[in-house]
Amino acid sequence: MFVVFTRTWWTDNPDWPNGLEPCQGEKNILRHMIHNESDAIKICQKWNATHDPGRYSKKAEYEQV
């Protein structure tokens, strides 16, 4: 089983270059109970293709649960 989620990879910090410090954001679940990895990959690819990652590099990911 797999879960698909989004999270950011940066946080504001004026002491870092460009004002951004590396930081794994909180996971926000998009889908859970995905039965196979290929479906999880497709969901992530579709979400990432249709959403701008923005300043904090928000992206869809998946993990096995």
| pLDDT interval class at 18 (50, 70, 90) | very high
Mean pLDDT of 20-30: 97
d(CA 9, CA 19): 13
The pLDDT of residue 56 is 97
* Element containing residue 37 per DSSP (H, E): helix 37-50
pLDDT tens figures, 37-50: 999 999 999 999 99
Contacts of 31 (CB under 8 A, 6+ apart): 3, 4, 40, 43
pLDDT, the chain, mean: 97
Task: Give the distance from CA 45 to its chain's centroid.
Answer: 11
